[in-house]
Structure 1
Amino acid sequence: MDKVNILGVHVDMVNISQATDCIMRFLDEDKFHAVYTPNSEIIMLAYKDEKFCKLLNNADLLTADGIGVVHASKILKKPISERAAGYDIARQVLQKMNYTDHKLFLFGGKPGVAEEAKKKLLEEYTDLNIVGTRNGYFKPEEEAEIVEEINNSGADIV
């Protein structure tokens, strides 16, 4: 995929549909993939933090989650065709996952939020295979247990 370098962050020049297709291909591979959706603020943070910039650039897919990123790509004469926000990509991925055996684990948010999200998602995507939920509030000593729980769930996407 073509990329545009915005302040050191190498953003993939993909639209929502292309990003969705890429993620669905990732699901058929036997390896972990990292997908991030940086907006202008995240790119500015990466510009100021070399370690964070390296983390972003090591992703398998970086999409333009913000119109500022799209405008920057146009200024740099490597235009990204549309804003590919994480929310929009996730909606398409969930729609496609609904017709597969791929498994989803919902992790993060305050206690009860992941469970409520599961309930709402299953109202819309009735065949979605949600294999677990976990809030994002935990102590450092609980981390290994949470990782084990996610790994044991067989989740394809977290």
Structure 2
Amino acid sequence: MRFEEFTLVRVDVLGVQIDAVTLAEAVRTVEGFIAEGGPHLVATANAEMVMAAGRDRELARILADAALVVPDGAGVVWAARHLGQPVPERVAGFDLAEELLARAATEGWRVFFFGGAPGIAAKASEAAAAKWPGLTVAGVRDGYFAPEEAASIAAAIRASKPHILLAALGVPKQEKWLAAQATTLAVPVSMGVGGTFDVMAGVTRRAPLWMQRAGLEWLYRLGCDPKRIGRMMALPRFVMRVLAAKKH
């Protein structure tokens, strides 16, 4: 299926518009964005992000304006189905990032790795280059910087001429930074990837495949880092909001 034959369909999950796409369709959509030129923002919406958007008008606006919002998270997939607007599958941000890196290696797309603790982006890019020979790394930069450095960082990224910018700054910082710097960056595709670099660099591990398929990746993360319990409280609140929305 060529890109121009594929039409994005969005479903509403608690006020956030989610694209009902498969992983393969998301990759084809990004391929089309790169062919068109920039800028396009890709967001990976899980339950935590949806709940944050309900409190944060700026984040809500950014997601509404994003070129692609994939259903990242078992909670979002469940919610869409429960609300009568099912999406075909979960499109995890990590999986989408890996698929794009694989395509970049064969298509000659340049990728910039931005974010994470010092040294993590570099390790992630090295691991990616080893896994996908032919991958062109446009540049790397950690995510520790002062607000006044934002413009110069964006200009440096633009100068490296990437086709794809992966930003691991955490939600919602990465989405807000990418949106604010979109004009300066002029990158065809910018995507917030959260903790993806940590996994690629070998600092953390993803949940076993069976837990991913069972929608229990959140439980694995909590077991690995109990301090996430505060963030995880968004999940039961999300479920209650969805159940309440169904009644109406």
Partner of 1:51: 58
What is the rounded CA distance, in whole Å, between the counterparts of 1:102 and 1:146 in structure 2? 20
Partner of 2:161: 154
Q: 1:75 aligns with which of 58, 82, 87?
A: 82
Query: Structure 2 matches for 1:124-139, cutoff 5 A?
Result: 124-139=131-146
Partner of 2:107: 100
RMSD: 1.0
Query: Structure 2 matches for 1:25-44, cutoff 5 A?
Result: 25-44=32-51
What is the rounded CA distance, in whole Å, between the counterparts of 1:85 and 1:34 in structure 2? 16
Instruction: State whether structure 2 residue 71 is matched by structure 1 residue 64.
Output: yes
1:61 to partner: Cα distance: 0.2
What is the rounded CA distance, in whole Å, between the counterparts of 1:140 and 1:47 in structure 2? 25
1:93 to partner: Cα distance: 1.0
What is the rounded CA distance, in whole Å, between the counterparts of 2:146 and 2:108 in structure 1? 32
Partner of 2:26: 19
Number of aligned residue pairs: give it: 158
What is the rounded CA distance, in whole Å, between the counterparts of 1:79 and 1:69 in structure 2? 10
Partner of 2:152: 145
Identity rate of aligned residues, in percent? Answer: 36
How far does the alpha carbon of each residue in 1:38-73 deviate from its partner, in whole angstroms, 9 at most, with x for none?
A: 100110111222222111111000011001100111
How far does the alpha carbon of each residue in 1:2-48 deviate from its partner, in whole angstroms, 9 at most, with x for none?
A: 11111110000001111111011111112200000010011011122
Which structure 1 segments of 5+ residues have no match? none
What is the rounded CA distance, in whole Å, between the counterparts of 1:121 and 1:30 in structure 2? 24
What is the rounded CA distance, in whole Å, between the counterparts of 1:115 and 1:31 in structure 2? 25
Q: Structure 1: which 4+ aligned runs deviate by more than 3 Å? A: none
> TM-score under structure 1 normalisation?
0.96
How far does the alpha carbon of each residue in 1:64-101 deviate from its partner, in whole angstroms, 9 at most, with x for none?
A: 10011001111111111110011111111111111112
> TM-score under structure 2 normalisation?
0.62
What is the rounded CA distance, in whole Å, between the counterparts of 1:52 and 1:114 in structure 2? 25
What is the rounded CA distance, in whole Å, between the counterparts of 1:21 and 1:75 in structure 2? 27
